[in-house]
C-alpha cells in the first residue's frame, strides 16, 4: 500500500498503545510510511526503564517519572493494576503479540518516532531519558508537516 500515516500517541494506556502499534506495524508491513508523534502521557511508552533522576523536579514530574514503562495502566477495568496483569495473561493465552514485540517490530519496519519537545520540557525529560530509537525531538509544527502529506491521521 502506498501512502503515509501519522499517529499522535497522547495516551499512556497499554490498550491504546497496543492499538497504535498494531496499526503502525500493519501499515508499515504493507509498505506505508508511518510516523508516531509521542506527546504527553504517550512519552511514557518511549521512556528508558532507568533514567537520570534530576534534582529540582516538581511533584508532577516526579510522579510521571515514577510511572513504569513496563507496567502501563489500561483505560478501562484498570483495577489498581490488576487489569493490565490480567490483560497480559489473556494476550499470552491467545498468542497475541505483546507491546514489547510490537515495538521491536516497529523499529525493524522503520516506523519513525518523534518525541514532542514541548511535552518533554514539561515533564523534565531529556534526550538521554528516552529510548535511542527516537528519531527526532520536535514540536507540533513538525507533526503538522508530516500530517499534511499523509492519507491517514489519528489522535490516540
Which residues form the interface with its own copies (CB under 8 A)?
A: 1, 3, 5, 8, 10-12, 15-16, 19, 22-23, 26-27, 30, 32, 39-41, 58-61, 63-64, 75-77, 83, 86-87, 89-91, 93-94, 96, 118, 121-124, 139-141, 143-145, 147-148, 151-156
**Least distance in angstroms from the C-beta of 128 to its own copies:** 18
When the beta carbons of 83 and 104 are compared against its own copies, the nearer one is: 83
When the beta carbons of 2 and 132 are compared against its own copies, the nearer one is: 2
Residue with cell 506527546: 39
**Least distance in angstroms from the C-beta of 33 to its own copies:** 13
When the beta carbons of 56 and 132 are compared against its own copies, the nearer one is: 56
- State the Cα–Cα distance between residues 145 and 156, nearest whole angstrom: 18
**Least distance in angstroms from the C-beta of 30 to its own copies:** 6
**Least distance in angstroms from the C-beta of 133 to its own copies:** 21
When the beta carbons of 80 and 94 are compared against its own copies, the nearer one is: 94
The DSSP code sequence of the chain is: ---EEEEEE----HHHHHHHHHHHHHHHHTT-EEEEEE-GGGGGGGB-SS--PPTT--HHHHHHHHS-TTS---SSS-GGGHHHHHHHHHHHHTTPPPHHHHHHHHHHTT-EEEEEHHHHHHHT--GGGB-TT--EEE-HHHHHHHHHT-SEEEE-
Amino acid at each position: 500500500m502506498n501512502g503515509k500515516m501519522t499517529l499522535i500517541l497522547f495516551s499512556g494506556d497499554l490498550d491504546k498503545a497496543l492499538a497504535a502499534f498494531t496499526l503502525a506495524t500493519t501499515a508499515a508491513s504493507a509498505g506505508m510510511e508511518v510516523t508516531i508523534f509521542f506527546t504527553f502521557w504517550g512519552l511514557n511508552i518511549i521512556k528508558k526503564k532507568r533514567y537520570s533522576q534530576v534534582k529540582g523536579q516538581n511533584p508532577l514530574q516526579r510522579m510521571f517519572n515514577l510511572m513504569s514503562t513496563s507496567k502501563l495502566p489500561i483505560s478501562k477495568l484498570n483495577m489498581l493494576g490488576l487489569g493490565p496483569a490480567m490483560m497480559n495473561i489473556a494476550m499470552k493465552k491467545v498468542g497475541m503479540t505483546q507491546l514489547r514485540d510490537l515495538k521491536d517490530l516497529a523499529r525493524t519496519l522503520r516506523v519513525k518516532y518523534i518525541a514532542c519537545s514541548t511535552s518533554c520540557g514539561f515533564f523534565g525529560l531529556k534526550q538521554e531519558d528516552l529510548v535511542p530509537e527516537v528519531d527526532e525531538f520536535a514540536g507540533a509544527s513538525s507533526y503538522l508537516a508530516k500530517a499534511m502529506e499523509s492519507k491517514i491521521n489519528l489522535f490516540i
